[in-house]
Amino acid sequence: MCGIVGYVGPQDARDVILEGLRRLEYRGYDSAGIAVVADGLLSSVKKAGKLANLEKVLAEHPLPAATVGIGHTRWATHGGPTDRNAHPHVSADGSVAVIHNGIIENFAALRAECEAQGVEFRSETDTEVAAHLLAAAYADTPEGPGRLAEAMRVISRRLEGAFTLVATAATEPDTLVAARRSSPLVVGVGDGEYFLGSDVAAFIAHTREARELGQDQVVEIDRHRGLTVTDFFGAAVEPKAYTVDWDAAAAEKGGYDWFMLKEIAEQPQAIADTLLGRLGSQGELVLDEVRLSDQELRDIDKIFVVACGTAFHAGMIAKYAIEHWTRIPVEVELASEFRYRDPVLDRSTLVVVISQSGETMDTLMALRHAKDQKARVLAICNANGSTIPRESDAVLYTHAGPEVAVASTKGFLTQLVACYLVGLFLAQVRGVKYEDEVSAVVDDLRRLPEAVAEVLAAMEPVRELARSLADADTILFLGRHVGYPVALEGALKLKELAYIHAEGFAAGELKHGPIAVVDQGTPVIVIVPSPRSRESVHGKVVSNIQEVRARGARTIVIAEEGDEDVVPYADHLIRVPRTPTLLAPVVTTVPLQVLACEIAATRGLDVDQPRNLAKSVTVE
Ligand code: F6R
């Protein structure tokens, strides 16, 4: 939520900042702005709407060339998406400019304090208060090296909530300062130049050398004196260095119309990368990064899986697999609800938090609550070095590469695969499965990349179908067992991308009410379990297809190759390869991703940046 870029160095800061903003636009696209320091003056331009609007203004009214600058792309929280509310916010005296990600929870009291001192506010944002407070603290700090950083520490101690703040001062053309509490910020270190970014995508085209910032830290970057990190009270801190394992090409569209299409196509490779190095030659699992001892894993008597949105759907599927393989009870919780209902947690509880971005605030807060209650926390995450894995006891990275499209696709499939690995690993360590049983599932996992590639190769009919569904008012999704979360995921993708009303149901629940909405021509997409699945779930879902069809539904059926029972009742049939029941969501989700993407494109919508959304949701 909100993209932040900062630069100090010999290049033209205007170009570096705009390029960084382009790469971060997925984090928010309600407005964008940039500020540079040149000739003892701060100059800034900001514009509502997508980055293209800002670029147009800059083309007509260029900012002066500069060696230090900051840029922001916004997802509005306080104050609508207008020019005035866009960042940067410059203090009333013009001495400092500030960009912000997060929410300053005590901004109302601080604003009243500033207003009492005669400051006139120009926006409705919580951020502007930080600009005025910083200017006042800066004025009170003696001149000399470290002045802006000291002023930032002073105000950071007063701010409540979550924030990343980056500031520049008119009189300091070689300095950038930033503060971080709970919201993301990473530093890029180049050759004689430094970058700040909400994530590494902001500077990956320039350097892969990064520094992690911890909670409640202030970083000062001076072109000549280098990098200094302290806590909010000025005590020096040594930031952790790491090398980013993505390259710039991975963050480009690579010839596809949309990042989402590229990311869907990357799924076979992404799954292979999630599995890489984790499947041993004897059919066993090797998860070195799960830094919990075998004894700690044996002591676990309850698992919570906690996540949001698409990652929550991955968690729902994980429950079926982990309970089945380990016989440990698993509860799945929405992160935004978890800590507010006082869950029962202790040392023998494992909390698995799932997050593609590693920055989702609801999930982060749930994680912190779990740790406060002494539970062990294992993160399944894609973004290396992000906050959630850093604060967890153990982490399993999905290694899916950058996911830029707002709607998660390869993030989801790789989360599923990581969940399978965790479940199977627990079963292996606890000895609840024979070695040959583990190695049979490992073989099934190895076949997943190929199975997904097969689905992708047969997507042309799905694209055609999408064109015929583009005018639908409502589309229903039905599934049972692991097909139920897949139905929820299909409906979520369609809602967020195509703005069509969509709902996912457990197929068995249909008769308890929802079937009333089925009308003549209502498209109903059914995810059919394998005929080899347990206790005739397959037969029951086939009956459900007949029930909705009898009421006029247009049935779109996703079924495995060789399942002939569905043929008479399917108006459209989408075939997927035979896959073991618990792993089937990895293949059955793919046509639903393609469908949602193509329907949105047919409706002329922005597939990568749907309205009202942001990639990384860093507010609660
Ligand atoms: C939907 C989608 C969101 C995210 C959710 C959690 O396509 O992408 O529902 O899954 O916001 O995000 P992460 O996984 O980054 O915690």
Last residue of a domain, one of 431, 446, 461: 446
Contact 554, 523 (CB under 8 A): yes
Among candidate residues 421, 557, 413, the one with its CA nearest the CA of residue 489:
413
The secondary element (H helix, E strand) that includes residue 610 is: none
Last residue of a domain, one of 380, 415, 446: 446
* Residue 548 confidence (pLDDT): 96
How is residue 195 written in tokens?
Answer: 């970058």
Distance 581 CA to ligand 1 centre (A): 25
Contact 531, 565 (CB under 8 A): yes
* Residue 282 confidence (pLDDT): 84
- Are 231 and 262 members of one domain? no
Contact 183, 101 (CB under 8 A): yes
Bridge partners, residue 175, by sequence: 222
Q: Which atom of ligand 1 is nearest to the CA of 356?
A: 14
The secondary element (H helix, E strand) that includes residue 7 is: strand 3-8
414 ligand 1 Cβ < 6 A: no
363 ligand 1 Cβ < 6 A: yes
- Are 123 and 217 members of one domain? yes
Distance 601 CA to ligand 1 centre (A): 21
311 ligand 1 Cβ < 6 A: yes
Question: What's the number of domains the chain is made of?
Answer: 3
The residue nearest atom 3 of ligand 1, judged by CA position, is 309
* Residue 75 confidence (pLDDT): 82
Last residue of a domain, one of 425, 446, 467: 446
* Residue 209 confidence (pLDDT): 95
- Are 462 and 603 members of one domain? yes
- Are 570 and 486 members of one domain? yes
Instruction: Decide if pLDDT at 534 tops 70.
Output: no
Q: Rounded to an integer, what distance in angstroms lies between the CA atom of residue 27 and that of residue 436?
A: 45
* Residue 70 confidence (pLDDT): 97
- Are 423 and 463 members of one domain? no
* Region of residue 266 (phi > 0: left; psi between -120 and 50: alpha; otherwise: beta): alpha
Distance 309 CA to ligand 1 centre (A): 5
336 ligand 1 Cβ < 6 A: no
Distance 551 CA to ligand 1 centre (A): 35
Tens-place pLDDT, residues 160-197: 988 999 999 999 999 999 999 988 899 999 999 999 99
Top pLDDT among 614 and 303 is at: 303
Which DSSP category does 72 fall into? E
Amino acid identity for residue 230 in this structure: T
Tens-place pLDDT, residues 446-493: 999 999 999 999 999 999 999 999 999 999 999 999 999 999 999 999
- Are 236 and 268 members of one domain? no
CATH of the domain at 261: 3.40.50.10490
Bridge partners, residue 96, by sequence: 169
> pLDDT grade, residue 352 (50/70/90)?
very high
Bridge partners, residue 148, by sequence: none
408 ligand 1 Cβ < 6 A: yes
386 ligand 1 Cβ < 6 A: no
Tens-place pLDDT, residues 354-392: 999 999 999 999 999 999 999 999 999 998 878 999 999
The residue nearest atom 16 of ligand 1, judged by CA position, is 355
Q: Which atom of ligand 1 is nearest to the CA of 309?
A: 9
Q: Rounded to an integer, what distance in angstroms lies between the CA atom of residue 246 and that of residue 444?
A: 28
What is the span of the domain harbouring residue 12?
3-248
* Residue 80 confidence (pLDDT): 86
- From the CA atom positions of the chain, what is the Rg in Å? 25
* Residue 617 confidence (pLDDT): 81
For ligand 1, mutation pick of 1, 310, 608 (most atoms within 8 Å of CB):
310
Task: Count other Cβ atoms within 10 Å, centred on residue 501.
Answer: 14
Contact 72, 114 (CB under 8 A): no
Amino acid identity for residue 513 in this structure: G
- Are 60 and 203 members of one domain? yes
For ligand 1, mutation pick of 312, 332, 357 (most atoms within 8 Å of CB):
357
Instruction: Pinpoint the alpha helices (H) of 431-553.
Output: 435-446, 448-457, 460-469, 483-498, 537-550
> pLDDT grade, residue 245 (50/70/90)?
confident
407 ligand 1 Cβ < 6 A: yes
The secondary element (H helix, E strand) that includes residue 475 is: strand 474-479
Tens-place pLDDT, residues 484-513: 999 999 999 999 999 999 999 999 999 999
CA distances 581 to 154, 317, 584, Å, are 57, 11, 5
Contact 271, 264 (CB under 8 A): no
Show which residues are catalytic.
2, 615
The residue nearest atom 9 of ligand 1, judged by CA position, is 309
The secondary element (H helix, E strand) that includes residue 140 is: helix 127-140
Tell me, letter by letter, the H, E, C secondary structure of 534-584: HHHHHHHHHHHHHHHHHCCCEEEEEEECCCCCCHHHCCEEEEECCCCHHHC
Distance 355 CA to ligand 1 centre (A): 7
> pLDDT grade, residue 199 (50/70/90)?
confident
462 ligand 1 Cβ < 6 A: no
Q: Which atom of ligand 1 is nearest to the CA of 415?
A: 14
- Are 68 and 107 members of one domain? yes
Q: Reduced to 3 states, what is the DSSP secondary structure of residue 401?
A: coil
CATH of the domain at 69: 3.60.20.10
610 ligand 1 Cβ < 6 A: no
Residues near 512 by beta carbon (within 8 Å), at least 6 away in sequence: none
Q: Which atom of ligand 1 is nearest to the CA of 363?
A: 16
CA distances 294 to 215, 297, 321, 508, Å, are 30, 5, 20, 39
- Are 98 and 13 members of one domain? yes
* Exposed / middle / buried, residue 193 (Cβ in 10 Å: 0-12, 13-18, 19+): buried
Contact 315, 419 (CB under 8 A): yes
360 ligand 1 Cβ < 6 A: yes
326 ligand 1 Cβ < 6 A: no
Distance 311 CA to ligand 1 centre (A): 6
The residue nearest atom 6 of ligand 1, judged by CA position, is 308
- Are 22 and 63 members of one domain? yes
Q: Rounded to an integer, what distance in angstroms lies between the CA atom of residue 158 and that of residue 130?
A: 10
Distance 380 CA to ligand 1 centre (A): 13
Angle at the Cα of 596 from the Cα atoms of 590 and 599, rounded to 5 degrees: 135
Distance 492 CA to ligand 1 centre (A): 10
Distance 374 CA to ligand 1 centre (A): 26
For ligand 1, mutation pick of 27, 352, 360, 609 (most atoms within 8 Å of CB):
360
Find the range with the poorest average confidence among 72-81, 259-268, 574-583: 72-81
- Are 403 and 544 members of one domain? no
Instruction: Give the β-pairing of 376-381 and 394-397.
Output: parallel
Q: Which atom of ligand 1 is nearest to the CA of 411?
A: 14
Give the N- to C-terminal CA distance of the chain in Å, as an integer: 11
CA distances 277 to 335, 411, 449, 480, Å, are 30, 19, 15, 33
Q: Rounded to an integer, what distance in angstroms lies between the CA atom of residue 450 and that of residue 439?
A: 18
* Residue 253 confidence (pLDDT): 76
- Are 264 and 239 members of one domain? no
- DSSP result, 205-260: TT--EEEE--TTEEEEEETTTEEEEEETTS-B--PEEEE----GGGGS-TT-SSHH
Among candidate residues 125, 150, 124, the one with its CA nearest the CA of residue 139:
150
Across the beta sheet with 194-197, the strand order is 41-48, 31-38, 68-74, 3-8, 194-197, 186-189, 209-212, 240-243
CA distances 443 to 209, 278, 401, 447, 456, Å, are 37, 12, 24, 7, 21
